[in-house]
Amino acid sequence: DQQVKQNSPSLSVQEGRISILNCDYTNSMFDYFLWYKKYPAEGPTFLISISSIKDKNEDGRFTVFLNKSAKHLSLHIVPSQPGDSAVYFCAASERNTPLVFGKGTRLSVIA
Amino acid sequence: NAGVTQTPKFQVLKTGQSMTLQCAQDMNHNSMYWYRQDPGMGLRLIYYSASEGTTDKGEVPNGYNVSRLNKREFSLRLESAAPSQTSVYFCASSEAGSTLGWPQHFGDGTRLSIL
């Protein structure tokens, strides 16, 4: 059973608009959440993280929101740029266990 | 600063052949991981090593073995390759003290095809 779910396989957004990528999880013991970005033929790169004691973390154009009661997190990219086109993976872990990854969402930012 | 280096980048094997994928990191990280990525399946953990001298199974360990050779190197071995093991393999490392969820740094992958 999938513990981390990214229900949208793909998303298209116009350049300059907001991109919102969503992630749901089932394990209430998860206490650390991350987003990774992956370009073709490269390894995933860490983008932003949030711990369960927070509900928002911001880094430049990227903001991650965590709603623990709904077991939901989202990544907002504002404004979206063509270079943001990639596959985005949500990941989560509980203390002393490895990360669990979602299946990814392919973001296309259209100029 | 190379980060995480995987060799080879590409490999084609015949069913039943054996092979070792190599991974080395130069960030003095404690923990290392091996994942496979298949279309529509995301990243699945094969094995990990929380610290030098320890290894543990992940989600999909069958058909694989690992060796944490030293703090820098973590290898993945396929003893008898099967077509189902055709995939892109990623090695990763993280500082991780008591929390294995620390950001992981990934290599660029090994694309393995088994005929």
> CB B100 to CB A101 under 8 A?
no
Tokens of B76: 């993945």
User: Which of A25, A101, A106 has the most B C-beta neighbours within 10 Å, making it the best mutation to test the interface with B?
Assistant: A101
Torsion angle, CA of A16/A20/A21/A26, rounded to 10 degrees? 170
Name the residue of chain B whose CA is nearest to A96's CA: B99
Each residue's pLDDT tens digit, B19-28: 999 999 999 9
What DSSP element (H or E) covers B103? none
Share of chain A above pLDDT 70, in %: 100
Question: Is the CB of residue B104 less than 8 Å away from at least one CB of chain A?
Answer: yes
User: Which of A34, A39, A99 has the most B C-beta neighbours within 10 Å, making it the best mutation to test the interface with B?
Assistant: A99
> CB B109 to CB A97 under 8 A?
no
Nearest 5 degrees, angle CA B38-CA B41-CA B44? 80
Give the model's confidence band at A48: pLDDT under 50 very low, under 70 low, under 90 confident, else very high: very high
Each residue's pLDDT tens digit, A73-98: 999 999 999 999 999 999 998 877 78
Q: Which residues of B touch A97 (CB under 8 A)?
A: 100-101
> CB B109 to CB A41 under 8 A?
yes
Cβ(B76)–Cβ(B61) below 8 Å? no
How far apart CA B78 and CA B31 sit, in angstroms, is 21
Q: CB count, 10 Å around CB of A90?
A: 27
> CB B99 to CB A32 under 8 A?
yes
How far apart CA B49 and CA B51 sit, in angstroms, is 5
Question: Is the CB of residue B92 less than 8 Å away from at least one CB of chain A?
Answer: yes
Question: Is the CB of residue B39 less than 8 Å away from at least one CB of chain A?
Answer: no
Each residue's pLDDT tens digit, B64-101: 999 998 999 999 999 999 999 999 999 999 986 545 55
Q: What is the DSSP letter of A59?
A: E
Would you list the DSSP string of A2-67? -SEE---SEEEEETTS-EEEEEEE--TT--EEEEEEE-TTS--EEEEEEETT-SEEEETTEEEEEE
